[in-house]
Amino acid sequence: MSDHLRKRYLDFFAKHGHAVVPSSPLRPENDPTTLFTGSGMQPMLPYFLGEVHPLGKRIADSQKSFRTQDIEEVGDNRHTTFFEMLGNWSFGDYFKTEQIAWMWEFLTKELQIDPSRLYFTCFRGNDDLHIAQDTESAELWKKHFALAGIDAKITDFPERDGMQGGRIFYYDEKKNWWSRVGAPANMPVGEPGGPDTEMFFDFRPDLGEHCIPGTPFSGAFCHVNCDCGRFMEIGNNVFMQYRKTADGFEELTQKNVDFGGGLERLMAACLDNPDVFMTELFENARKTLARLSEKQYGENPEDTYAYRVVLDHVRAAVFLIGDGIVPSNKDQGYFVRRLLRRAVRFGDMLGMGQDFVAQIGRAFIDTYAEAYPSLSVNASSIEAELSREETKFRKTLEVGLKEFQKLSGKTIGGTDAFILFSSYGFPIEITEELARESGKSVDIAAFQNELEKHQNLSRTASAGKFKGGLADHSEKVTAFHTATHLMLAGLRHELGENIHQAGSNITDERTRFDFTFPEKVSKEVLDRVEEYVNTAIDSGASVRSVIMDKEAARSGGVEGSFWEKYPEKVTVYRVEGPDGSIYSQELCGGPHVKTMADIARFGRFKIQKEEASSAGIRRIKAVFVGVSA
């Protein structure tokens, strides 16, 4: 069903004039501000901010996504760290009327979902900021309900007064507004944003206005954003309608649409089962887990919780490793390691034996073979990483157990418990369990304090490491970005065409650039690369983007990595001198300066440092010097 639903969605929007593009990698390209691709919107952001998409103004895809903030949420019937986001976009083309009509048609005609099970939310408006209520979206949904023979009442304040017999509800900006920084009051001048309208499926229409009884969230009345589990959001339509100004908000001349709908959640709605782990995407792995553990999914709450953690975490790890992110102690690799170690711990709660993770991973590779054939191609290396990490963690646990046995006294202090957790991979639950068996207790409050201090340090370090970057599109960052293209061209000119980008981090202070090369680069070569960049800057060259056939670009010497990820039409940025000299031509989504004068105003390009980044990868740090800007 998953392959069918995904194809049906993409075919539906192709029929409506959308170009279908492949998923972007889970490791974001040209965006050092975030570790992972966490939504379908993320890779499309340059096109909302003015870049021209090579395939036009209507785009659709199914985007692989991963959200670290959901790791601790996994265990209920709907939260997952990895998911596929079905998406369609309009870059200044159609708007609310077309999008809402297509969504209604797709849900009720293509997927055959009963319209009486559907509910929608819209933006309430903000009188203080003079942003109007989104009555247009609400009335459009009401019209489609009417055509289906349903009188859909529009109501306000459902979170306060209940559903009041309504099907279309207004909520405030916490629920129904989108911008990169959240609420409209937080948006900087120039930032685009707008209302959104969310789509919900009702799994318990028999309850009328009431919650599912017996849950911790069950209240006097229910509404679509209640947490009792009755309703599930299955999609969100964002209408980028406004720009923040010094005086308030103004309507954009080019209005954009961004839709995102979770594949797993849409499948759950089609199956009328709120448990996403019962969809076919998890079936092979669920059966493998049942065979290995001799326990059945759904038999008791504790085992079901453990099942969900194992299934989610191993699936996420398979896709992350498939995109080249292997377990480590830093950056993206840290989260792969964390996922796999949690999977091992919860697998052991199910009575799993040694080396089970790779077997679960293989089941997911088989499930996704048609949609993501690269997983099958790389199956042996993915399974090897899974097995290696499980083995490493089990050895770490053995060492941690020895350290635990060295602790004396009746109470294990918070610092000791945290050292077991951070240095030896000992989950606090295992420390508590061992303490109980030894007649000891654990100072949980002190442990939580140590953990919070560590998390605050991690957040601070992350903010420092990933501050600035291409996401802000400032003039200096943009200048560094174009200069980095020139530096790569210079490196390829000096060291050969086997040199390719392996990563970058660009702030308004410097560019940090990783590239493929097996040995230290001499100072003489670095000087010539630096001269190459500055010669291009002095030449008066201009930068222009051209849309080319992918194969023509590739055969024509255009530099790029991950060619297989790009559509048949690609955007190439070319730095060309007045005499026709080509200093750089590279696949990119932007942004870039228009002329070299936009770089020269910041000074001369200077390579400060060249060093090893990892095996076979070198790293250069460079700055602008000589001009105060």
Per-domain residue ranges of the chain: 2-276, 277-465, 470-626
For the record, the structure tokens of 561 come out as 């990595």
- Write the CA distances from 109 to 8, 87, 113, 312, 475, integer angstroms: 11, 18, 7, 31, 47
> Which tens digit of pLDDT belongs to each residue from 83-135?
999 999 999 999 999 999 999 999 999 999 999 999 999 999 999 999 999 99
Please, what is the end-to-end C-alpha distance for the chain in angstroms?
57
- Report d(CA 357, CA 362) in Å as an integer: 9
Domain 2-276: which CATH number of 1.10.620.20, 3.20.20.150, 3.30.930.10, 3.40.190.10: 3.30.930.10
> Which tens digit of pLDDT belongs to each residue from 401-425?
888 888 888 899 999 999 888 777 7
Beta strands 569-576; 542-549: pairing state = antiparallel
In DSSP notation, 53-116 reads PTT-SEEEEEEEEE-GGGTTTBTBSS--SEEEEEEEEEESS--HHHHHHHHHHIIIIIS---GG
- Report d(CA 574, CA 175) in Å as an integer: 42
The amino acid sitting at 454 is: H
Beta strands 58-66; 82-91: pairing state = antiparallel
Q: Do domains 2-276 and 470-626 have the same CATH topology?
A: no
185 closest CA partner among 196, 174, 175: 174
Is the Cβ–Cβ distance between 229 and 85 less than 8 Å?
A: no
- Report d(CA 306, CA 302) in Å as an integer: 6
Read off the pTM.
0.76
CA dihedral 479, 482, 484, 487 (to 10 degrees): -120
Q: What is the pLDDT of residue 465?
A: 40
Q: What is the pLDDT of residue 474?
A: 77
Q: What is the pLDDT of residue 569?
A: 75
Mean pLDDT for each consecutive 10-residue tract of the chain (629 residues)? Answer: 93 97 81 72 77 88 90 90 96 97 98 98 96 98 98 97 97 94 88 95 96 88 94 96 92 92 96 96 97 95 96 97 87 88 91 92 96 93 95 87 87 90 76 85 91 62 42 79 95 92 85 91 96 96 86 86 70 90 86 91 95 87 81
Q: State the architecture of 470-626 in CATH terms.
A: 2-Layer Sandwich (3.30)
What sign has the CA pseudo-torsion 238, 194, 462, 566? positive
- Tell me the HSE value of 215 on the side-chain side, using a 13 A CA sphere: 16
